[in-house]
Chain A
Amino acid sequence: MTAELEPQTFRVTRADLVRYAGASGDFNPIHWSDRIATGVGLPGVIAHGMFTMALVGRAVTAWAGAPDAVVEFGVRFSRPVPVPDTDEGTEVVVTATVKEITDEGHTRLSLTATCNGDKVLSMAQALVRKR
Protein backbone atom coordinates (compact mmCIF):
# COMPACT_ATOMS: atom_id res chain seq x y z
CA MET A 1 0.00 0.00 0.00
CA THR A 2 2.40 2.66 -1.25
CA ALA A 3 0.98 5.61 -3.10
CA GLU A 4 3.10 8.33 -4.64
CA LEU A 5 1.42 11.72 -4.59
CA GLU A 6 1.82 14.24 -7.39
CA PRO A 7 5.10 16.19 -6.82
CA GLN A 8 4.76 19.92 -6.21
CA THR A 9 7.29 22.52 -7.34
CA PHE A 10 7.83 25.87 -5.63
CA ARG A 11 9.91 28.75 -6.97
CA VAL A 12 11.97 30.60 -4.35
CA THR A 13 13.48 34.03 -4.95
CA ARG A 14 15.30 36.55 -2.78
CA ALA A 15 12.08 38.57 -2.61
CA ASP A 16 10.36 35.54 -1.04
CA LEU A 17 13.06 35.36 1.65
CA VAL A 18 12.70 39.05 2.47
CA ARG A 19 8.93 38.68 2.71
CA TYR A 20 9.30 35.58 4.90
CA ALA A 21 11.82 37.31 7.16
CA GLY A 22 9.33 40.11 7.79
CA ALA A 23 6.34 37.84 8.30
CA SER A 24 8.14 35.38 10.58
CA GLY A 25 10.42 37.75 12.48
CA ASP A 26 13.51 35.70 11.56
CA PHE A 27 16.01 38.36 10.45
CA ASN A 28 19.15 36.18 10.50
CA PRO A 29 21.37 37.94 7.91
CA ILE A 30 22.43 34.65 6.24
CA HIS A 31 18.96 34.84 4.63
CA TRP A 32 19.51 38.26 3.03
CA SER A 33 23.22 39.18 2.99
CA ASP A 34 25.66 37.40 0.66
CA ARG A 35 28.49 39.09 2.53
CA ILE A 36 27.51 37.58 5.85
CA ALA A 37 26.43 34.21 4.37
CA THR A 38 29.77 33.67 2.59
CA GLY A 39 31.57 34.92 5.70
CA VAL A 40 30.24 31.91 7.65
CA GLY A 41 31.15 29.46 4.90
CA LEU A 42 27.86 29.26 3.00
CA PRO A 43 27.78 29.47 -0.82
CA GLY A 44 25.65 32.62 -0.51
CA VAL A 45 22.23 33.58 0.83
CA ILE A 46 20.20 30.49 1.80
CA ALA A 47 16.49 30.07 2.42
CA HIS A 48 15.20 29.94 5.99
CA GLY A 49 14.82 26.27 6.91
CA MET A 50 11.37 27.18 8.19
CA PHE A 51 10.51 28.71 4.80
CA THR A 52 11.34 25.40 3.10
CA MET A 53 9.30 23.59 5.76
CA ALA A 54 6.41 26.00 5.15
CA LEU A 55 6.45 25.12 1.43
CA VAL A 56 6.36 21.42 2.34
CA GLY A 57 3.45 22.26 4.66
CA ARG A 58 1.62 23.83 1.70
CA ALA A 59 2.11 20.62 -0.27
CA VAL A 60 0.86 18.55 2.67
CA THR A 61 -2.29 20.61 3.21
CA ALA A 62 -2.94 20.54 -0.56
CA TRP A 63 -2.65 16.74 -0.61
CA ALA A 64 -4.79 16.45 2.52
CA GLY A 65 -7.39 18.74 0.98
CA ALA A 66 -7.86 20.72 4.20
CA PRO A 67 -5.86 23.51 5.85
CA ASP A 68 -6.37 22.05 9.35
CA ALA A 69 -5.65 18.38 8.60
CA VAL A 70 -2.07 18.16 9.86
CA VAL A 71 -1.74 16.27 13.17
CA GLU A 72 2.07 15.94 13.24
CA PHE A 73 4.78 17.40 11.04
CA GLY A 74 8.53 16.98 11.40
CA VAL A 75 11.68 17.45 9.31
CA ARG A 76 15.45 17.41 9.58
CA PHE A 77 17.29 20.13 7.67
CA SER A 78 20.06 18.17 5.94
CA ARG A 79 21.32 20.72 3.37
CA PRO A 80 20.89 24.45 2.79
CA VAL A 81 18.78 25.83 -0.07
CA PRO A 82 20.96 28.44 -1.82
CA VAL A 83 18.89 31.21 -3.43
CA PRO A 84 20.78 33.14 -6.14
CA ASP A 85 20.07 36.84 -6.65
CA THR A 86 18.30 36.32 -9.98
CA ASP A 87 14.74 36.75 -11.20
CA GLU A 88 14.41 32.96 -11.37
CA GLY A 89 15.90 32.22 -7.93
CA THR A 90 15.72 28.48 -7.40
CA GLU A 91 13.17 25.68 -7.18
CA VAL A 92 12.19 23.31 -4.39
CA VAL A 93 10.42 20.11 -5.40
CA VAL A 94 8.33 18.31 -2.77
CA THR A 95 7.27 14.68 -3.06
CA ALA A 96 5.27 12.45 -0.75
CA THR A 97 4.62 8.76 -0.37
CA VAL A 98 1.80 7.29 1.71
CA LYS A 99 3.52 5.09 4.28
CA GLU A 100 0.63 3.81 6.36
CA ILE A 101 -2.86 4.38 7.65
CA THR A 102 -2.65 4.49 11.44
CA ASP A 103 -5.07 2.83 13.86
CA GLU A 104 -6.79 6.22 14.32
CA GLY A 105 -7.33 6.41 10.55
CA HIS A 106 -4.67 9.09 9.98
CA THR A 107 -2.41 8.92 6.92
CA ARG A 108 1.35 8.98 7.44
CA LEU A 109 3.22 10.66 4.60
CA SER A 110 6.94 10.29 4.00
CA LEU A 111 8.17 13.54 2.44
CA THR A 112 11.15 14.69 0.41
CA ALA A 113 12.26 18.15 -0.69
CA THR A 114 14.98 18.61 -3.29
CA CYS A 115 16.79 21.62 -4.70
CA ASN A 116 19.03 21.21 -7.76
CA GLY A 117 18.67 17.45 -7.30
CA ASP A 118 19.97 17.50 -3.70
CA LYS A 119 17.77 16.35 -0.85
CA VAL A 120 17.49 19.33 1.49
CA LEU A 121 15.41 17.52 4.13
CA SER A 122 15.69 14.09 5.68
CA MET A 123 13.40 12.15 8.02
CA ALA A 124 10.55 14.39 6.89
CA GLN A 125 7.06 13.15 7.57
CA ALA A 126 3.55 14.29 8.31
CA LEU A 127 0.52 12.69 9.85
CA VAL A 128 -2.73 13.97 8.35
CA ARG A 129 -6.35 13.53 9.36
CA LYS A 130 -9.06 12.73 6.90
CA ARG A 131 -11.89 15.22 7.11
Chain B
Amino acid sequence: MPLDQSFVGRSWPPTEPYLVGREKIREFARAIGATDAEFHDPAAARALGYTDVVAPPTFPVTITMAASREVVADPALGVDYSRVVHGDQRFAYKRPVVAGDALVCVNTVEEITSRGGHEFLTTRTDVTTEAGEPVVTVWSKLVVRGEG
Protein backbone atom coordinates (compact mmCIF):
# COMPACT_ATOMS: atom_id res chain seq x y z
CA MET B 1 0.00 0.00 0.00
CA PRO B 2 1.57 3.32 -1.05
CA LEU B 3 1.92 6.06 1.53
CA ASP B 4 -0.90 8.60 1.53
CA GLN B 5 0.40 11.60 -0.47
CA SER B 6 -2.24 13.85 1.09
CA PHE B 7 -0.04 13.92 4.25
CA VAL B 8 2.60 16.06 2.46
CA GLY B 9 2.64 19.55 3.95
CA ARG B 10 0.55 18.57 6.94
CA SER B 11 1.66 19.75 10.40
CA TRP B 12 0.56 18.49 13.79
CA PRO B 13 -0.22 20.55 16.90
CA PRO B 14 2.67 21.17 19.32
CA THR B 15 3.53 18.20 21.55
CA GLU B 16 3.42 18.32 25.34
CA PRO B 17 6.64 19.91 26.64
CA TYR B 18 9.59 17.55 27.17
CA LEU B 19 11.57 18.60 30.24
CA VAL B 20 15.28 17.99 29.57
CA GLY B 21 16.95 16.55 32.66
CA ARG B 22 20.59 16.99 33.60
CA GLU B 23 20.94 13.28 34.36
CA LYS B 24 19.38 12.36 31.01
CA ILE B 25 22.00 14.44 29.18
CA ARG B 26 24.76 12.87 31.28
CA GLU B 27 23.37 9.38 30.60
CA PHE B 28 23.21 10.06 26.86
CA ALA B 29 26.74 11.52 26.81
CA ARG B 30 28.06 8.47 28.70
CA ALA B 31 26.28 6.12 26.26
CA ILE B 32 28.07 7.67 23.29
CA GLY B 33 31.37 7.97 25.17
CA ALA B 34 31.39 11.78 25.07
CA THR B 35 33.54 12.99 27.94
CA ASP B 36 33.61 16.77 27.32
CA ALA B 37 33.13 18.48 30.68
CA GLU B 38 30.28 20.67 29.37
CA PHE B 39 28.07 17.56 28.89
CA HIS B 40 28.55 16.50 32.52
CA ASP B 41 29.57 19.42 34.70
CA PRO B 42 27.22 22.40 35.13
CA ALA B 43 30.14 24.66 36.14
CA ALA B 44 31.97 23.89 32.89
CA ALA B 45 28.81 24.62 30.89
CA ARG B 46 28.25 27.88 32.79
CA ALA B 47 31.79 28.92 31.81
CA LEU B 48 30.57 28.75 28.17
CA GLY B 49 27.54 30.88 29.05
CA TYR B 50 24.89 28.18 29.53
CA THR B 51 22.67 27.76 32.56
CA ASP B 52 23.32 24.01 32.90
CA VAL B 53 24.96 21.08 31.10
CA VAL B 54 24.62 21.10 27.28
CA ALA B 55 23.59 18.08 25.22
CA PRO B 56 25.68 16.43 22.47
CA PRO B 57 24.58 17.30 18.91
CA THR B 58 22.51 14.17 18.25
CA PHE B 59 20.68 14.25 21.61
CA PRO B 60 17.58 16.01 20.15
CA VAL B 61 16.68 12.87 18.22
CA THR B 62 15.78 11.15 21.49
CA ILE B 63 12.99 13.73 21.80
CA THR B 64 12.01 14.06 18.15
CA MET B 65 11.93 10.32 17.44
CA ALA B 66 9.33 9.89 20.16
CA ALA B 67 7.46 13.02 19.04
CA SER B 68 7.30 11.90 15.40
CA ARG B 69 5.62 8.63 16.36
CA GLU B 70 2.31 10.49 16.10
CA VAL B 71 3.01 10.90 12.38
CA VAL B 72 4.74 7.63 11.52
CA ALA B 73 2.33 5.49 13.51
CA ASP B 74 -0.82 7.07 12.02
CA PRO B 75 -2.50 4.12 10.27
CA ALA B 76 -3.92 6.50 7.64
CA LEU B 77 -0.38 7.35 6.47
CA GLY B 78 0.30 3.66 5.85
CA VAL B 79 3.85 3.11 7.14
CA ASP B 80 4.65 -0.59 7.73
CA TYR B 81 7.17 -0.10 10.53
CA SER B 82 8.63 -3.59 10.12
CA ARG B 83 9.95 -2.44 6.71
CA VAL B 84 11.38 0.90 7.86
CA VAL B 85 15.07 1.75 7.81
CA HIS B 86 16.63 5.09 8.65
CA GLY B 87 17.70 6.86 5.44
CA ASP B 88 18.92 10.37 6.24
CA GLN B 89 19.22 12.48 9.35
CA ARG B 90 19.90 16.20 9.55
CA PHE B 91 19.99 18.86 12.27
CA ALA B 92 20.10 22.67 12.05
CA TYR B 93 20.86 24.22 15.44
CA LYS B 94 20.11 27.64 16.87
CA ARG B 95 21.79 26.56 20.10
CA PRO B 96 22.51 23.31 21.94
CA VAL B 97 19.82 21.73 24.08
CA VAL B 98 20.46 22.65 27.73
CA ALA B 99 19.31 20.85 30.87
CA GLY B 100 16.18 22.56 32.17
CA ASP B 101 14.78 23.27 28.69
CA ALA B 102 11.08 22.49 28.29
CA LEU B 103 10.93 21.61 24.60
CA VAL B 104 7.93 21.48 22.32
CA CYS B 105 7.93 19.68 18.95
CA VAL B 106 5.91 20.50 15.85
CA ASN B 107 6.00 17.73 13.23
CA THR B 108 5.51 18.32 9.52
CA VAL B 109 5.54 15.83 6.67
CA GLU B 110 7.82 17.50 4.12
CA GLU B 111 8.03 14.93 1.36
CA ILE B 112 6.84 11.51 0.26
CA THR B 113 8.57 10.00 -2.78
CA SER B 114 9.08 6.56 -4.26
CA ARG B 115 11.98 5.10 -6.19
CA GLY B 116 13.01 1.57 -7.09
CA GLY B 117 10.02 0.06 -5.32
CA HIS B 118 10.87 1.82 -2.03
CA GLU B 119 9.09 4.79 -0.47
CA PHE B 120 10.75 7.70 1.28
CA LEU B 121 9.11 9.75 4.02
CA THR B 122 10.76 12.99 5.16
CA THR B 123 9.55 14.54 8.39
CA ARG B 124 10.68 17.85 9.82
CA THR B 125 10.40 18.50 13.54
CA ASP B 126 10.74 22.09 14.72
CA VAL B 127 11.91 22.08 18.31
CA THR B 128 11.32 25.22 20.36
CA THR B 129 11.08 26.16 24.01
CA GLU B 130 7.62 26.51 25.51
CA ALA B 131 8.06 30.27 25.06
CA GLY B 132 8.64 29.72 21.34
CA GLU B 133 12.41 30.23 21.16
CA PRO B 134 13.75 28.12 18.26
CA VAL B 135 16.35 25.56 19.40
CA VAL B 136 16.87 23.01 16.64
CA THR B 137 15.17 21.74 13.49
CA VAL B 138 15.44 18.02 12.84
CA TRP B 139 14.83 16.24 9.51
CA SER B 140 14.50 12.46 9.31
CA LYS B 141 14.08 10.49 6.13
CA LEU B 142 12.66 7.02 6.60
CA VAL B 143 12.86 4.39 3.89
CA VAL B 144 9.93 2.00 3.68
CA ARG B 145 11.38 -0.95 1.80
CA GLY B 146 9.24 -2.46 -0.92
CA GLU B 147 8.01 -6.02 -0.64
CA GLY B 148 10.01 -8.77 -2.34
Instruction: Find out whether the CB atom of B56 lies under 8 angstroms from the CB atom of A67.
Output: yes
Size of interface on B: residues with Cβ below 8 Å to A: 34
Bound Cα distance A123, B141 (Å): 13
- Interchain nearest-CB distance for B45 vs A (Å): 8
Bound Cα distance A70, B54 (Å): 12
Instruction: Find out whether the CB atom of B31 lies under 8 angstroms from the CB atom of A68.
Output: no
B52 within 8 A of A: no
Instruction: Find out whether the CB atom of A20 lies under 8 angstroms from the CB atom of B56.
Output: no
A61 within 8 A of B: yes
Chain B residues near A70 (CB, 8 Å)?
Answer: 57, 91, 93
Partner of B89, one of A10, A53, A61, A71: A53
- Interchain nearest-CB distance for B35 vs A (Å): 9
Partner of A57, one of B30, B48, B58, B90: B58
Listed stretches A21-29, A82-90, A93-101, A107-115; interface member: A21-29
Chain A residues near B27 (CB, 8 Å)?
Answer: 22-23
Instruction: Find out whether the CB atom of A23 lies under 8 angstroms from the CB atom of B30.
Output: yes
Partner of B58, one of A19, A25, A50, A67: A50
What residues of chain A have their CB less than 8 Å away from a CB belonging to chain B? 10, 16, 19-20, 22-26, 40, 49-51, 53-55, 57-58, 60-61, 66-68, 70-77, 123
Report 10 cross-chain contacts, Cβ distance below 8 Å, ordered by A residue.
A16-B31, A49-B86, A57-B56, A57-B58, A60-B57, A61-B56, A67-B38, A67-B39, A67-B96, A76-B88
